[in-house]
Amino acid sequence: MIKVILARIKQGYRTSAFPKEEPVLAERFRGLPVLREGMLPEESEERAIACPTGAIGKGPGGASIDLGKCLFCGGCAASPGGAVNFTKDYRLAALSREDLICRPGEAYKLAESAGKEIKRTFGRSLKLRQVSAGGCNACEADLNVLNTLAFDLGRFGIQFVASPRHADGLLVTGPVTRNMRLALKKTYDAMPSPKVVIASGTCAISGGPYIGHEEVIGGVDKELPVDIYIPGCPPHPYTVLDGLLRFLGRR
């Protein structure tokens, strides 16, 4: 027992200082993408072809990236020329589906507080029921990390609960398969009002790599009203935590 205590003292304080201090991210981390202004049509076409989910648009307004479809695979940034560059900015959460569109020269519209009523009701205590609606388990694994000593989600008053009847919010991962459609709806109906819905990960937002598959609904908002979108494949734990705190008006 003494050895355990000594080892713990040696380890010191391990919980991240976030949000007071910015996190240190891995060198290979891909965050908010930036498109070069004045991208040529042929460059836009080349990157649109390279995108496996059709996240890159070529509309009359010029090129754009839909973070709700983006897998952050880096395929669009692989070609020379610097037309697309992935930054280290982990802040990606947005309050609406339209806000997930990145355009050259435009500031990305991050999620803001959902309002005084949300802050008053859930600002100090937010209980979440997580549902994997057909996910590959990557998003789920990174959500589990939030409960570890390094992140300590509970210090913000945010916790995952086992029953939807004890939950304030529904956090959904996965593309919502037809087999999970009814279970997701029943979970939502079992939650007391007021309640919020969080779409976490590209699959939950749009269907991700399964877009267009006949067994996939293609995003939570086709079934339930979504209050906040957290893109990523999977979203980094800091991306999720930042989004939740912004939604609660604590960032």
What tens digit of pLDDT does each residue of 122-172 get? 989 999 999 999 999 999 999 999 999 899 999 999 999 999 999 999 999
Closest CA to 33 of 92, 79, 81: 92
Backbone angles phi, psi at 100, to 5 degrees: -85, 0
| Structure-block tokens of residue 166 | 């004890």
Cα–Cα distance between 152 and 53 in angstroms, integer? 34
Domains and CATH numbers, the chain: 33-91 (3.30.70), 116-247 (3.40.50.12280)
Going from the C-alpha of 22 to that of each of 16, 17, 27, 114, the distances in angstroms are: 9, 8, 15, 23
Cα–Cα distance between 169 and 192 in angstroms, integer? 9
Q: What is the pLDDT of residues 180-235, one digit of tens each?
A: 999 999 999 999 999 999 999 999 999 999 999 999 999 999 999 999 999 999 99
pTM reported for the whole predicted model: 0.92
